[in-house]
Structure 1
Amino acid sequence: MDKRIARRAALVFFVAAAAYFFFILLKLGNPLGALFFRGRKEAPEYVFSYADNQPEDYPTVQGARKFAELVQEKTSGRIRINVFAGGEMGSENEVVEQLQYGGIDFARSSVMMLTEIKPKFNVLQLPYLYRDEKHMWKVLDGVIGEEFKEELEGSGLVALSWYDAGARHFYNSTGPIKCVEDMKKMRIRVANSDMMSAMVEALGARAVPMAYSEVYAALETSTIDGAENNWPSYETMRHYEVAKYITLDAHSRIPEMQLASQATWEKLSEADREVITACAEESARYERRLWEIREQNDRERLTKAGCVITELSSSEQVRFRAAVMSVYQMYCSEYIDVVNRIAQIR
């Protein structure tokens, strides 16, 4: 018994002595001690989730991964963000709901999903609101964009930065759309949005709300004649295979936002919030560059694949915009002052 006790005491002494020895080496700057301690990785203080419903190669997902990478780098690994793409954490509206009660920490969402929470966001998806892409970024990166971010206060969501989602165009399987009359009686798929339905109806077509995942089969079987979306979605979902006619009318430029859950935000120090906000802004600039490259590459590739591209004349652009003015009154009559301010930005 005495021998066993003696051996245990000797072992404890040896371990303690070894630990003290390496501690002294480290304090003295000895490379061996530094190497020993540097090899040990501290566990992160926070591990957060980030949701996106797009596939891995999509610009918004790549932007999300850049955001996570920047946050980990700027906090020396103290904050880690795991990105879940491809709708792994649910649809966009489900993700926004989970953000509100803290089930998900961060996400990328279209402002289309925020209109039920804050109706003022309807302004940002009005058809033909912006003259072009440059006009949109002047609006969103300026005072008006900050006002919309502040609009989410008290909703359980924190706005971090604006992401690009490109311009949305009409595409179909029957023939080129060159004028408003070509829209007549077409069955056009839209997302589950009253405003999008109203826009399509105002142009003389029939709006068919439908899940994004069902569009290819519906085009293939002629259940619908066409749909509307941006270049990357048109390419990624292979809709061009069954709807080769695309008209670049840019009827909507619906931006997207990087969001944080208010519950998550309240866990963080002010310094951490500043770091995360800065990383979100940097990742947004990165995502916008990726989007520009992606749109250009998709257009070139699909042109070679046989897609028929139509660009509206200036006079027809005016006619298309005039046709949807009823939508402005229907959904944004109380925000016409904001619409006018946007129009005045040069």
Structure 2
Amino acid sequence: MKAYLTTVAALAASTLIAGAAGACETTLRSADTHPDGYPTVEAVKQMGKMLEERTDGRLCIEVFPASQLGEEKDSIEQTQFGVIDMVRASFGPFNNIIPETQIVSLPYIFRSEDHMHHVMDGPIGDEIMKAFEAHDLVGLAFYDGGSRSFYNSQKPIKTIDDLKGMKFRVMQSDVFVDMMDALGANATPMPYGEVYSSIQTGVIDGAENNFPSYDSSGHAEVAKYYTNDQHLIMPEILAMSKSSWDKLTPEDQEAVRQAAKDSVPVMRELWNAQVKASEEKVVAGGAEVIMDVDKQPFIDAMKPVYDKYVTTPELQDLVKRIQDTQ
């Protein structure tokens, strides 16, 4: 309820500002947990500029970064309810409600970021996008979540044995919890915004994420050891509320879809630059990055995770098609 009231208050203030400006007929409000300037935030802003130009000012997008409209789980729910028009979110929070998102969230399902792009930009991506419609969401585009790796405040992690008994924050997803169990570590699901203080106070030893998030969140300040194991290369989604979508004309729906699609290469270019800059920044700030990791023992440990989630012929076929994609 508190998150709902916070969202409503923020949107009410935004409506007053937008009304005073009187720039667009319809302003779509988009939520993101990442800070202003982050590649996903900037990509949605660019999408908004394209949309405004292509609709002659009928449609605009206002982006609310830095969890202004709530943490990821809350903003997803508010988008489903139609309180928020759009949300950029990682796949983790969807894992427990959309089985297809569990498959592309499995550890080591993708060989590289290029492999992930080839899968998500093709027919498999279209299938996964369509699965969101049953949950009052219209998928618009897949963004990059980068390759996620472990970081912690205690010691360098070079082998799977180094993880044993350590406490790591993970997203609120059963897949992530089971991944940590399989590695011998303890999973602590919690909102992204609580990670910094939890590492700082010793509630957890560390977390797992990509270089830009490790940098922009300030986590590199309190968790100096980053192990580049790349256990997850997980896409993210930009989705729209079904109720907001249904209010648009078919012409404007197509304009929104095309602008979202055209924002993807913008996001990827910004993302690649951000990864490089963030890695250089955290190293300069004193973080120790462990690059030489033998991944095979980590991959071998994932068998029970795959056995648990890849349970139907349809999902088994999806895994095979992903692995066969070149």
Name the structure 1 match of 2:112: 132
Instruction: Give 2:170's aligned amino acid.
Output: V
Partner of 1:125: helix, strand, or coil? Answer: coil
Name the structure 1 match of 2:297: 319
> Where in structure 2 are the equivalents of 1:1-346 lying within 5 Å?
44-313=24-293, 316-334=294-312, 335-346=315-326
Name the structure 1 match of 2:9: none
Partner of 1:47: helix, strand, or coil? Answer: strand
Quote the Cα distance in structure 2 between the aligned partners of 1:42 and 1:200.
50
The alpha-carbon distance between structure 1 residues 101 and 242, as it changes in their structure 2 partners (threshold 3 A), is closer
Deviations 1:34-55 (A, max 9, x none): xxxxxxx986332221111211
Kindly report the root-mean-square deviation, in angstroms, between the aligned alpha carbons of the 2 structures: 1.7
Partner of 1:152: helix, strand, or coil? Answer: helix
Quote the Cα distance in structure 2 between the aligned partners of 1:59 and 1:240.
19
The alpha-carbon distance between structure 1 residues 42 and 200, as it changes in their structure 2 partners (threshold 3 A), is closer
Quote the Cα distance in structure 1 between the aligned partners of 2:266 and 2:140.
15
Partner of 2:104: helix, strand, or coil? Answer: helix
Quote the Cα distance in structure 2 between the aligned partners of 1:162 and 1:312.
30
The alpha-carbon distance between structure 1 residues 76 and 200, as it changes in their structure 2 partners (threshold 3 A), is same
Instruction: Give 2:309's aligned amino acid.
Output: Y
* 5+ long unaligned stretches in structure 2: 1-20
Instruction: Give 2:55's aligned amino acid.
Output: T
Quote the Cα distance in structure 2 between the aligned partners of 1:182 and 1:194.
23
Aligned-pair CA distance for 1:63? 1.0
The alpha-carbon distance between structure 1 residues 251 and 57, as it changes in their structure 2 partners (threshold 3 A), is same
The alpha-carbon distance between structure 1 residues 116 and 223, as it changes in their structure 2 partners (threshold 3 A), is closer
The question of whether the paired residues in 1 share the 8 Å contact of 2:224 and 2:287 is answered with yes
Aligned-pair CA distance for 1:145? 0.5
* 5+ long unaligned stretches in structure 1: 1-40
Instruction: Give 2:213's aligned amino acid.
Output: S
The question of whether the paired residues in 2 share the 8 Å contact of 1:165 and 1:291 is answered with no
Aligned-pair CA distance for 1:79? 1.2
Quote the Cα distance in structure 1 between the aligned partners of 2:271 and 2:22.
36
Quote the Cα distance in structure 2 between the aligned partners of 1:97 and 1:226.
27
The question of whether the paired residues in 2 share the 8 Å contact of 1:107 and 1:259 is answered with yes
The alpha-carbon distance between structure 1 residues 42 and 98, as it changes in their structure 2 partners (threshold 3 A), is closer
The question of whether the paired residues in 2 share the 8 Å contact of 1:170 and 1:229 is answered with yes
Name the structure 2 match of 1:29: none
Instruction: Give 2:212's aligned amino acid.
Output: P
Instruction: Give 2:207's aligned amino acid.
Output: A
Quote the Cα distance in structure 2 between the aligned partners of 1:186 and 1:155.
35
Deviations 1:27-82 (A, max 9, x none): xxxxxxxxxxxxxx986332221111211121111111111111101111111222
**Structure index of larger Rg:** 1
The question of whether the paired residues in 2 share the 8 Å contact of 1:120 and 1:332 is answered with no
Aligned-pair CA distance for 1:289? 0.9
The question of whether the paired residues in 1 share the 8 Å contact of 2:151 and 2:206 is answered with yes
Aligned-pair CA distance for 1:117? 3.1
Deviations 1:267-313 (A, max 9, x none): 22222111111100111211111111001001011112221111244
Which deviates the most, 145-154 or 126-135? 145-154
Quote the Cα distance in structure 1 between the aligned partners of 2:245 and 2:217.
35
Quote the Cα distance in structure 1 between the aligned partners of 2:321 and 2:132.
20
Aligned-pair CA distance for 1:231? 0.9
Quote the Cα distance in structure 1 between the aligned partners of 2:249 and 2:106.
37
The question of whether the paired residues in 2 share the 8 Å contact of 1:189 and 1:224 is answered with yes
Instruction: Give 1:181's aligned amino acid.
Output: D
Partner of 1:339: helix, strand, or coil? Answer: helix
Quote the Cα distance in structure 2 between the aligned partners of 1:223 and 1:99.
31
Instruction: Give 1:76's aligned amino acid.
Output: D
